[in-house]
Structure 1
Amino acid sequence: MTHRNDHIILDDLDEKGQHFESVGSPTSPISPTSNVPTNNNTTLGSNPSVTNKKLKSEVWKIFDRVERIKQDGTKEIKAICSKCGDELAGGPSAGTNHLKRHMLNSCKRKNQMDIRDFQQLGKDKEGNLTTFIYTDANAWNEVVEYLVRAEHPFTFVEKDDFTGMVQRGFTPQYKGFSASTAKRDIMKSFKFYKEKLKSILHAHSGRFCLTSDLWTSRNKLGFLSLTIHYINSNWNLNKRIISFKMLESPHTGYNIANLISEELQYWGITDKIFSITLDNATNNDTAEMFLKEKLSLPLHGTLFRIRCCAHILNIIVQDGLSNLSSSVEKIKDIVRNINSSQARYELYIKCCMELKRNQKNINIDVPHRWNATYLLLDSAIKYKDVLNLYYSHLSQNSRCPLEKIEEHDWMLAELVRDFLKVFDDSTKKFCGVYYPTSCRVIIQLTNICAKFSKFYGQTFGIFDETLDLMRQKFDKYWGDIPLIFGMAIILDPRFKIEELNVFLEIIYNDEVEKIQKTIQSFQNSMTQLFDYYGNAYKNFDIGAQTQNTRSSLSSTSSLSDQEEQNAYHMVKRRREQASSVTSGGLSEFQRYLNQPLLEIDEEGSFDLFGWWKTNQSKYPILSIMAREILSVPISTVASEASFSASGRVVSDKRCGLSPETVEALVCLKDWNLADTRRQEAEQEAELAEVFERLKLERPEWMPRSPPHDQQSTTSR
């Protein structure tokens, strides 16, 4: 599965008006040979008595078109190969595809044809015009890549429909190949690219951050995924799945740690690990303990274990929703009722028409996915008038199964929806692939705690009880903020150490002693890590990494959003301009801290990676620390998966394969997407598709809603 230039074939028209690829080179026609039979033949070429269309196809540089008188006196038109003399149908209705197939496959003298006859102009992946030459090897490589990306079964390549489509629509010389050949090529590609990636990781000068997660399959097999994250010398954040192995039962912490350790040894990076992000299962606590003993970690492993933040948010929200289940159940019930039969759905549509509202399907609830409840409430509240009218019509029947949704029910639903929005936003921000997330945690925790304060005392006692439950769970996991999150925000030149006060005052409700203790802990850890890296990289040549770097403060790959802008301006207002401090005798870390906060435009963007890339020669040791601290992922899953409590599941398309083949397919797909930096978009799209399938499981008679921004208006 080689990586090479793709080409877009430029089409010509044959005499039937059909598109096909050009076969010859207009600048180098082939001279006809003398072995073409001529008895009873009249060469037609572009004779207007036979056809009033010019023969545009390049095949006519190889074939002569002749008219022959048959024994019965009728005429027939033949195409005679100028290379071997074979005769084929040549009439206008015959087309030219069979002539191209003859040239490329059947002609006895095809090896004597000039290679330029098979060259075609096309565009490569960068859009540059180049020459394309068809080969079976290239075609097979492309098909194999497609199988991996689309997760098709190996037998897909043997389907007549697929082979015929390629031959008729793209290139007639495509021969196809067997399922066993496809599998063999995939396994060979996996081995090749695995060794190539191994070399890249070996050459990386820094440390790697890990994420690991357990998957299950329909046939009850457990798989352990292991992914590395790192910032390369060009300050691009990279992600690669390096292992997707079957985990033998029982799934104890020891077995998890043992498998991870074996994989790290194979890849040769046991002494280059910085952190690992895991969910909050007990077996992961045990795995952490065993791994610390086997790995060479900075600061004796105090920064090693990161608990998946998206998973923690999920736990907090699930606890809160369980306490509110009775309060929002009326709204869930009426939505379920609408979806229960065609007659009920038609009544709902009638209500939409009466109120001149768009016909929109209200999101249904999906078990185990808390954001489904958030989306249901959001869409139901927008259609509050329609649902009230629907109940009014339905309640005329004495056997109405629904309870009336009172005004206070709607008010509570709005509170719940508005409160859940900050968790929805935070979950999505925590799950990025190509931007730093570790520096965003404290900002998002500040936003969540501000919502706790805002929503307390909102009339509903049950809602205050819910907030208390959620705050208790919040404090269980984040009462003491992990060191890595404080260190990450210190390495953001917009905030640094002093500005943590602003965030911590909100998170810790102005508990001065706790705020001071937390900041001191962050600062001590930064100093210790700086000393550790200073000793480790004494002789490190940072100059090699700073060549050709330019400022990226207004990069199009902006990582800023409105909340971060607000946070920046909030701390700016509360900080007096730092007085000028001489850098003589100060460490690199102190010089960085003494610099004023970085100011950005009100509407400007900020690329944190770009800033460190530009300033790595000024702060050589800090920039190495930043590359590793800012590459720490704070979630083990894509955001769509993090809304669910049901776990990760291997797709049905793969669960019938051997564990070795499953690993090859999973890794190859991830590596292929990484080349074009589409990993995040792909995994979100796949998970969103699963969610939509669950959400829209409804009778065939029920139409699907258009996207929110493409709602059609119902006419009366």
Structure 2
Amino acid sequence: MSRHSEDQGEYSTTERSKRVTSLVHEDEEDISTSSKRSRKHTSIVWSEFEKFTDGDGMSKAKCKWCEVTYMASHGTKNLLRHLNTCPNREVNVDGSVVQFDQGVFRDMLARAIIKHNYTYSFVEHEATRELFSYLNPNVKHISRNTARSDVLKVYEKEKGILKSKLLSLSSRICLTSDLWTSITTDHYMTVTAHYIDDDWELQSKVLCFSYVPPPYSGVILLEKLLSLLREWGIERKIFSITLDNASYNDSMIDIWRNTPSEGLKVIDGSLHNIREAVKYVRATQGRRVKFAECILQSCLKTSKKVRQDVATRWNSTYLMLEGALFFECAFSHLKLIDCNFVTCPSSEDWVRGKKIALLLKPFYDISTLFSGVRYPTANLYFYGVWQIQLRLIQARDTEDEAISSMARAMLKKFEKYWKCYSVVLSFAVILDPRYKLHFLEFCYSKLDMDDHVEFVRGIREKLYTLFDEYVTSMSRDDRSTSSTSRGNISVEGIDENIGDDIDEYDAFESEHFGSQSTKSQLDLYLEENRLDRKKFPDLNVLDYWKTHSHRYPELSLMARDILSIPITTVASESAFSIGGRILNKYRSSLSPESVEAELCTRNWLFGVLPEEDLDEESLIIDFQDYLH
């Protein structure tokens, strides 16, 4: 190195002189003994300098921060001075050097891989390593195998944390489960736990995304599920299981997706002209501009957009109809000025389109509600299902044969499921303080049920039976706790706390003869005035029961368990969506253990991350953009 560079290395500013002096005193021994026999370097500078011998046999030291080189044969004063002037050296406010923790770095890197679905080989890329070295020269680069190992460590750590939470829950746990076929045609079973925590927040956690080798019989899947529950230690805490592929409990998600589609095939001809009209105005830039002018001349000012549908997806068809119906006048005006527009819907087409949209709206609303990231409580489900049932009955009785035929086909399949889930859904809506039993009586009377009064009475009796089990269970737990906490010592069969016998009187009367009040918590709740649903349209039912848990201790526990029941397997489908991004064509060789670790840990740490649906966006056109 040139003498000029060495002079620069020995230069220090006045502002740094005090810090340098303290360091120099610590290293005076190095200076005085530099000519003596070599020994192990003890100076603090050697953690930030790399010593080497050049081609001429000269001993030199290179700064790890900025790579400036100094002579290293005459002590460390010049090296110490450089550390206080090094432009790349990271120093805290108090003057201490920023410490780099390799363990923290690897943990953060593993979490980044989990969150953003990076490949393990990402850590071996040349540019990646250059970036890490630039950020900190002390970094130790890792291999893809080490990255995979770090991901598994994060998975095991977070699994232990979640397991402890589940075991400590005072509430029950509801499950959803389903099978998924990967890009490699392997089958994976996902199991998701749904529960309300002690803060009365509804939680959803993926417990497993496990590879299932063939064959896929019900017995094998059941054994795998039971094994999973034993592994997590929650086999005695399960309240309900929602399955998508069980013959006795078909998922409602299939009803929403398949049943309306079957019905739409019946009236496909009625939708043809509306669908073709939408395609026509979207086809070219010139047609878009012309249709935008028709919208302007029709005085239609709105944020609604014209949307092309996917014919095999009924909710997409509903959105197409909703937009097209609003622009009916603009389509009619376009027919007058464009002789090529031969697929303009007739008046009959528009009338029928309105009926179809009215019929499909509750299907769309309920599927939107249950496809959200934050899964709703079970009380919200009854109203949506009842609306579907009511709309189908009304459509079945209409004079329009096409609409009636569609409704009959849909209703035949839908009624089969109504009988299966009406009771548990009724429980949930009763526990909504805005509705209670009054809403059940109203809804069932609208469904042309001759015995609707008896049916509601039967639901009420079943609710009381379930509540009695909670009261009995709580009483049993209280007696067990009380007996344990007293810890009475008996001598030859005589209780030493004999003076406390009278304290058991209240509990004895309550257990055998009832309390002074003959009304139970459920009685009091049902007799209490309902909340005004118009004043509380967005009532958080969990907040209500959390607030009233001191008034209804046993009833609130029952409400917490019932309201957490997942009605659909939407949670499983969300896991499948993430699984498809993890196990894609670029990462098809990932082991099942790695897939499960990445998917589950991503769910536990980050929840369900929103993803843009670019295909959906491409179907929408805002014609307001063509008016400028």
TM range (shorter): 0.7 to 0.9
User: Cα distance, 1:177 vs. partner?
Assistant: 2.9
Give the CA deviation at 1:270.
1.7
Distance 2:71 2:443 in 1: 77
Do the aligned partners of 2:295 and 2:327 also contact (CA within 8 Å) in 1? no
The answer to which of 228-237 and 132-141 deviates more is: 132-141
Q: What CA distance in whole angstroms lies between the structure 1 residues aligned with 2:317 and 2:544?
A: 40
CA separation of 1:111/1:356 partners in 2, compared to 1, >3 Å: closer, same or farther?
A: farther
> Equivalent of 1:320, from 263, 284, 304?
263
Q: 2:175 is paired with a residue of what secondary structure?
A: strand
Is 1:671 the counterpart of 2:619? The answer is no
Equivalent residue, structure 2, for 1:159: 125
What's the counterpart of residue 138 of structure 1? Answer: 104
Q: Distance in 2 between matches of 1:635 and 1:105?
A: 67
CA deviations 1:512-561 (Å, max 9, x no partner) are 41x1232122122212212222232324359x9xxxxxxxxxxxxxxxxx
What is the aligned counterpart of 1:220 among 168, 181, 185?
185
Partner of 1:529: 466
Q: Once the 2 structures are TM-superposed, how far is the Cα of residue 118 of structure 1 from its aligned partner?
A: 4.9
Give SS of 2:385's match.
Answer: helix
TM-score w.r.t. the length of structure 2 is 0.73
Task: Say whether residues 1:101 and 2:65 are aligned partners.
Answer: yes
Counterpart of 2:345?
A: 405
Instruction: Work out whether 1:634 is the aligned partner of 2:567.
Output: yes
Instruction: Select which of 231, 246, 249 maps to 1:266.
Output: 231
* Aligned counterpart for 1:365 among listed residues 309, 314, 323: 309
Moved over 6 A (4+): 36-39, 42-47, 84-87, 103-114, 358-361, 389-394, 456-459, 639-642, 646-649
Partner of 1:618: 551
Write the deviation string for residues 447-494 of structure 1: whole angstroms up to 9, x where unpaired: 334544665776643123222333333322214653211111222223
Q: Does 1:696 align with 2:618?
A: yes
- Is the contact made by 1:430 and 1:635 (CA closer than 8 Å) also made in structure 2? yes
Shift of 1:334: 4.3
Letter in 2 for 1:330: N
Q: 2:401 aligns to what?
A: 461
In the TM superposition, residue 628 of structure 1 has moved relative to its aligned partner by 0.9
1:183 deviates by: 0.8
1:82–1:499 Cα change, 3 Å: closer
Higher relative contact order (CA 8 A, sep 6+): 2
CA contact (8 A) 1:422 1:447 kept: yes
TM superposition score normalised by structure 1: 0.65
Report the Cα distance in structure 2 between the residues aligned to 1:381 and 1:266, rounded to whole angstroms: 54
Query: 1:23 corresponds to which residue?
Result: none
* CA distance in 1 between partners of 2:234 and 2:195 (Å): 12
1:409 shift after superposition? 1.6
Question: Contact between 2:393 and 2:407, CA under 8 Å: does it hold in 1?
Answer: no
After TM superposition, the structure 1 = structure 2 runs for residues 312-391 of structure 1, keeping only pairs within 5 Å, are 312-336=255-279, 344-355=283-294, 362-366=306-310, 368-384=312-328, 387=331
Query: CA 1:119 to 1:532, structure 2 compared with 1: closer, same or farther past 3 Å?
Result: farther
Which structure 1 residue ranges, 5 or more long, are not aligned? 1-35, 48-53, 63-80, 88-97, 122-130, 289-304, 545-581, 698-703
User: Which residue of the partner structure matches residue 50 of structure 1?
Assistant: none
Closer, same or farther: CA 248–459 of 1 in aligned 2, 3 Å: same
Aligned counterparts, 1:202-601, within 5 A: 202-279=167-244, 281=245, 284-285=246-247, 307-336=250-279, 344-355=283-294, 362-366=306-310, 368-384=312-328, 387=331, 395-396=339-340, 403-432=343-372, 434=374, 436-452=376-392, 460-479=400-419, 481-506=421-446, 508-509=447-448, 511-513=449-451, 515-540=452-477, 584-599=517-532
CA shift in 2, pair 1:658/1:538, >3 Å: same
Percent identity reads 26
2: CA distance, partners of 1:412 / 1:638: 35
Higher mean C-alpha displacement, 241-250 vs 218-227 = 241-250
Is the contact between residue 431 and residue 639 of structure 1 (CA under 8 Å) also seen in structure 2? no
Q: Partner letter of residue 618 of structure 2? A: L
The structural deviation recorded for 1:443 is 1.6
Determine which structure has more spread, i.e. the larger CA radius of gyration: 2
Alpha-carbon spacing, 1:257–1:640, altered in 2? closer, same or farther (3 Å): closer
Tell me how far apart the structure 1 counterparts of residues 68 and 437 of structure 2 sit (CA, whole Å). Answer: 70
8 A contact 1:157–1:177 mirrored in 2: yes
| Contact 1:216/1:649 (8 A) holds in 2 | no
Structure 1's 137 and 383: CA in aligned 2 closer, same or farther, altered over 3 A? farther
Give the drift of 1:309: 3.0
Structure 1 residues 528 and 365, CA gap change in structure 2 (3 angstroms): same
- 2:289 touches 2:626 (CA, 8 Å); kept in 1? no
Q: Distance in 2 between matches of 1:328 and 1:158?
A: 55
Q: Give, in angstroms, the shift of residue 255 of structure 1.
A: 2.4
Q: Is the 8 A contact 1:324 1:466 kept in 2?
A: yes
Separation of aligned partners in 2, 1:42 and 1:430: 67
Is the 8 Å Cα contact of residues 530 and 625 (structure 1) preserved in structure 2? yes
Distance 2:190 2:431 in 1: 30
CA distance in 2, matches of 1:534, 1:104: 77
- RMSD (Å), alpha carbons: 4.5
Displacement, 1:147? 1.4
Structure 2 CA distance for partners of 1:418 and 1:497, relative to 1, 3 Å: closer
Deviation per residue, 1:145-167 (Å, 9 max, x gap): 12111222222233344445566
C-alpha distance in 1 between matches for 2:465 and 2:155: 41
Correspondence for 1:712: 625
Distance 2:119 2:98 in 1: 29
| Code of the aligned partner of 1:309 | M
1:637 shift after superposition = 0.8
Rounded to whole Å, the distance in 1 between the matches of 2:160 and 2:337 is 67
2:121, 2:143 within 8 Å by CA — same for their partners in 1?
yes
Over 3 Å counting, the alpha-carbon distance change for 1:597 and 1:348 in structure 2 is same
User: CA shift at 1:502, angstroms?
Assistant: 1.4
Deviation of residue 439 (structure 1)?
Answer: 1.0
Q: CA deviation at 1:663?
A: 0.9
| Partner residue, 1:195 | 160
Q: Sort the Cα spacing of 1:455 and 1:605 in 2 relative to 1 into closer, same or farther, 3 A.
A: same
Question: Is the 8 Å Cα contact of residues 277 and 344 (structure 2) preserved in structure 1?
Answer: no
